[in-house]
Amino acid sequence: MTSTPRAERPHMPAGYLSPKLLPWTWAESRLTESRSYWVATVTAEGEPHSRPVWAIWHDGNLYFSNGSRTRRNLERGSAISINLESADECVILEGTASPLLDLPRAEHVAALYNAKYSWNLEAKAGELLEVKPRVVFGWIVDGSGRDGGALFSQTATR
């Protein structure tokens, strides 16, 4: 996603959503600042597999490292969904994941990862997974339950 994505309304019943759209910078800010990201893949048996991970949003892609089960799932099919922790300021990314094989890029992303999490992730080609977004959804709700629906209908963006 090197260029600014096109924003539009998600597909909902007529009259449900207002014309207001969230800017892409809003989604990128949350993708950058979030601490934990929920990764969802599908097993060979067609079962959902979801795990929280640490990740880096950089240059329009998401990068993370994960265990062998997630990797096996992605070897069979690269489709992936990533959700941020907050349901009040929701961002959902859908795209494809593949191993990051470019060592200089992996070293750069690992340095960003280590700075963000005070960690010591070793940069190796293929250690990190790179998620290329196909579509991103975002919305804001009140969280109190009082006006969540109205706020959602004013902010839901695809």
CATH classification of the domain holding 73: 2.30.110.10
Instruction: State the sign of the Cα–Cα–Cα–Cα dihedral 149, 152, 154, 156.
Output: negative
How does pLDDT run across 29-48, given as a tens digit for each residue?
A: 999 999 999 999 999 999 99
Full-model pTM: 0.80
Structural domain boundaries, residue 80: 38-99+126-155
In a domain, 111, yes or no: no
In a domain, 77, yes or no: yes
> pLDDT means per 10 residues in the chain (158 residues)?
57 50 85 95 92 96 90 90 86 94 95 96 89 87 57 55
Return d(Cα 22, Cα 59) in angstroms, integer. 20
In a domain, 51, yes or no: yes
Number of domains present in the structure of the chain: 1
In a domain, 145, yes or no: yes
CB neighbour list of residue 28: distance below 8 Å, 6 or more residues apart: 57
From residue 38, alpha-carbon distances to 4, 16, 34, 156 in Å are 24, 28, 11, 20
Letter for the amino acid at 106?
Answer: A
Tell me what pLDDT residue 15 has.
46
In a domain, 117, yes or no: no
In a domain, 24, yes or no: no
Tell me what pLDDT residue 136 has.
85
Tell me what pLDDT residue 3 has.
64
